[in-house]
Structure 1
Amino acid sequence: MTRRPANRLLGVGLALVLTSVTLGFAAGNLIKSPAQALADAAPPRPSTLTAPVTREAVRRTVAFDAVVTPQFETVVRAQQAAGVDANVLTRLGRREGSTVAAGDLLAEISGRPLIVVRGSIPMYRTMSPGMTGPDVRQLQFALGGAGHWTNDARGVFGPSTSQAVAALYEEHGYQPQRVGDEEVEIAEEAVRSAARNLTQLRQTESDPLSLQFAQEDLARAQAAAGEAYTKAGAQVVLGELVFVPDLPARVSDVSVQVGDVVEDKVLTLASGPLVVRGTATSADAERIRLGDRAQMLFSPSGSGRGRVLRASRSAAAAGEEAAESDQTGTTFVIRPSKPLGARWLGADARVIVETARSEGAGYTVPVSAVSTAADGTTLVHVVSEGEARPVEVMVGFAGDGYVRVTTSERRSLQVGDAVVVGTDSGSA
């Protein structure tokens, strides 16, 4: 019984000792000397920022936003029909989203057909018998693709081409417009008249000179009739055939309804493989060439590679002067190296076109790693064991923030070396 008070006193004493030690430690941390307070308030020492030396190509690139579309987009427009006051859509042969093949009827404008065929040259004139040219040759191939073959000389609108045109129209219940029939009748009558005159002269035993003149008249009439025959027959009126570079195609947009007055656009056809299409500003576009390599980054995820297929100048924004170059640009089409699946149609993309690339061996460092000494030498500073040593370099090809460098001293710079690119002052 006499030891219990002593034990209590001992416990109380130990608690007091621990409390005082704890309070003393806390006070030591809370109460600082003026020198310590100044030291703590000073900004942290700046740290050195470095980047590794690499051995890879330096590229110059141009980047722009784009979208995945079919390679060909053909806008079908209505031409003013002859003999009518207004172009009225009287029939729609294909609905939006439907597929069309060679020889299909797209629409009817004021009772005249719009028929789709394959070809890369847009129709720019009415094609009639007797005409020649690359557009006539394309017409002949297009007719064959629609199942109506010709045997005229290539590029010559002859009788079999006229017959094939008529067959294409009649297949859809239309009569093609014809030309030259009146001229043929006149030429045939001239032949008959010249023949009768020659016959009469022979029967009356006229003098040889008169017979010779009559024979020459008949020959000229027959030649003129032959010429008339070559220029008579079914023709293709401007706008009644729609040439599309690749078929089958899909109707991607219909702009009018049956009964509407059509002033311009009727519908749009999309065809061909999927490509990536985007517009670069005028300044960037000047650096891009057909065939340049490109990287494509798709949203939300995905990537691919390809090459610049073609380019077309974009018009200035409506109501703005064309001289304002920042409002204009060039639309580029990128053809992927591997075909894109249908799921990518309409996807957004970021295109990075490689416009130039370094050649040969050499070290690559960030441009910010290169500095110039007072004597004009070009240096990079290599960090090793906390110390930065200068290495003299010769600067070469630069692009996208990197530069190719070479050294005169062997092994003074190696792949993986850390070179100084700046300092980080940190934050208070």
Structure 2
Amino acid sequence: MRRRGLLAGAVAALALAGGGVAAASLSGAAGAPSESAGPPPNATAEITRSDLVDSKTVDGTLGYAGRRILPNQATGTVTRTRAEGRVVRRGGWLYSVDGRPVSLLYGSIPMYRALSQGFEGKDVEQLERNLAALGYEPGTVDEYFSWVTARAVRDWQDDRNLAETGTVDASQVIIASGPVRIAEVTAEKGDRAGQSVVTTTSTKRVVHIDLPASDQQLARLGAKVTLEIPSGGTAKGTITAIGTVAEPPAQDGGESTIDVEVTAEGRLGRLDQAPVTVDLQSERRENVLSVPVEALLALREGGYGIQVAGTGIVAVETGLFASGQVEITGEGLTEGMKVEVPAT
């Protein structure tokens, strides 16, 4: 009922409910005095000028983006793990197997092969870039694994209590695009190292919304939203992803939903999977005239009008409907004019 195309339904519903919407006719030009078909209203409201916003409050879940079950290629016994919630950056260890740390390096190419002197490729360049960023000297950062690169690798291995082989493989490092957060430790100390030891996320805070499909017009890429967080404060966010396929209802009689992701900003604490309230705004009209929707009269000639106190019925064009107000334009209308509305 918020949009222009549904306004007639809103007015009709008000009429059926005894809300005071009456049929009326214009006599002569728009703005000329005329009698309404029903008894005259006995209350007034002002025409106001302000921003009009179509919005709705929905529930969301605050968490972290990029949840990933990390692969593990190290064999042996898990001997050390990090606390859940800890952030690991380039060169930091994620967990240890048989006393040997598995470290994080940055990049986009997974460790799909063991790298040693004489190898060539983009993954070699990626390794050299990481070594240089960590303060080692792999020589020229290029796609060739030289003896200088091997020396830098041995220095790196020595600092991490690894066998100084000059060869790097997936048992020693895991590649990610940036810092990761330990979301869940899936193996305890003393467990055999299996396919995964930890689950991680990125450090980006996001809010996930299961938005009813009937409200999908409220979600626009790039739109700003307001979040009410569990601590009682508020934060800002931006809609960064909208699903294109509706998910079936979770239970019989429910409504299909679409996935909406909001990138959150500001101080949000370290809560994960916390409930939040999201204020979505689908449309905004700035500096417009509006009246309570109850002030609208359905004209016999078609369209709508309002009864201006001391003047008569004035035909209006309607715009955005939001928060019980409706945007109007009409000849001679100004802010502060009194309009008649049904008595409550």
| TM-score > 0.5 by shorter chain | yes
Q: Which of the residues 95, 113, 121 maps onto 1:107? A: 95
User: Which residue does 2:301 correspond to in 1?
Assistant: 375
AA at the equivalent of 2:190: G
Q: State the match for 2:110 in structure 1.
A: 123
CA contact (8 A) 1:298 1:350 kept: yes
Q: Look up the match of 2:209.
A: 279
> What are the Cα deviations for residues 182-212 of structure 1, in whole angstroms up to 9, with x where unaligned?
xxxxxxxxxxxxxxxxxxxxxxxxxxxxxxx
Given candidates 264, 267, 277, the residue that maps to 1:340 is 267
Which one has a bigger Cα radius of gyration?
1
Shift in CA distance, 313/369, structure 1 to aligned 2, threshold 3 Å? same
- The 2-side partners of 1:124 and 1:371 are apart by 71
Question: With structure 1 as the length reference, what TM-score do the two structures score?
Answer: 0.55
- Partners of 1:328 and 1:106 in 2: how far apart? 36
Q: What's the counterpart of residue 158 of structure 1?
A: 145
Q: Which amino acid in 2 is paired with 1:352?
A: D
Q: Which AA in structure 2 matches 1:148?
A: Y
1:77 Cα deviation from its structure 2 partner: 1.9
Q: Spell out the pairing of 1:29-48 with structure 2 (5 A cutoff).
A: none
> RMSD across aligned C-alpha pairs, in angstroms?
4.4
Q: Is 1:78 the equivalent of 2:71?
A: yes
Provide structure 1 residue ranges, at least 5 long, that are not aligned to the other structure: 1-45, 82-86, 178-232
TM-score, normalization by structure 2: 0.66
From 408, 414, 417, the equivalent of 2:335 is 414
Following superposition, the deviation at residue 292 of structure 1 comes to 1.0
1:227-306 equivalent positions in 2, closer than 5 A: 234-237=167-170, 240-243=173-176, 245-246=178-179, 250-261=181-192, 264-269=195-200, 272=203, 275-281=205-211, 283=213, 284-285=215-216, 287-299=218-230, 301-306=232-237
Partner of 1:290, secondary structure, is: coil
Are residues 406 and 313 of structure 1, via their aligned partners in 2, closer, same or farther at CA, if it must alter by over 3 Å? closer
Task: Say which structure, 1 or 2, has more relative contact order (CA 8 Å, 6+ apart).
Answer: 2
Query: How far did residue 269 of structure 1 move?
Result: 4.1
Distance 1:153 1:92 in 2: 33
Q: Which runs of 5+ in 2 are unaligned?
A: 1-39
Offset from partner CA, 1:74-133 (integer Å, 9 cap, x none): 53423456xxxxx665222423355544312222457875212345x473744743112x
Aligned to 1:147: 135
- SS of the residue aligned with 1:78? coil
Q: Deviations over 1:38-82 (max 9, x none)?
A: xxxxxxxx996765432223333354323444x55553423456x
Q: 1:167-186 residue pairs with structure 2 within 5 A?
A: 167-175=155-163
Q: 2:85 touches 2:182 (CA, 8 Å); kept in 1?
A: yes
Preserved contact between residue 241 and residue 262 of structure 2 (Cα < 8 Å):
yes
Shift in Å at residue 371 of structure 1? 3.6
Corresponding residue for residue 198 of structure 1: none
* Deviation sequence 1:338-381 (CA, Å, 0-9, x none): x216377775421123233235x531234444342111031123
Change (3 A) 1:143 1:335: farther
Which structure features the higher share of strand residues?
2
**Number of the residue aligned with 1:351:** 278
Note closer, same or farther for the CA distance 1:263–1:405 as it changes in structure 2 (3 Å cut). Answer: farther
Change (3 A) 1:394 1:96: closer
Alignment partner, residue 330 of structure 1: 259
Task: Count residues with an aligned counterpart.
Answer: 300
- Specify whether residues 317 and 136 from structure 1 end up closer, same or farther in structure 2 by C-alpha distance, changes over 3 A only: farther
Cα shift at 1:401: 5.0
2:318 to 395, 419, 422: 395
Contact persistence 2:93–2:102 (CA under 8 A): yes
Query: Any conservation in 2 of the 1:290–1:308 contact (CA below 8 Å)?
Result: yes
Between the aligned partners of 1:142 and 1:287, the Cα distance in structure 2 is 43
- Would you tell me which structure has more helix in proportion to its own residues? 1
Is the partner of 1:55 in helix, strand or coil? strand
Separation in 2 of the partners of 1:329 and 1:166?
Answer: 51
**1:257, distance to aligned residue in structure 2 (A):** 0.7
Distance change >3 Å, CA 358–CA 315, structure 1 → 2: closer
The 2-side partners of 1:243 and 1:256 are apart by: 20
From the superposition, tell whether residues 379 and 63 of structure 1 become closer, same or farther in structure 2 (CA, over 3 Å): same
Following TM superposition, by how much is the alpha carbon of 1:393 offset from its aligned partner in structure 2, in angstroms?
0.8
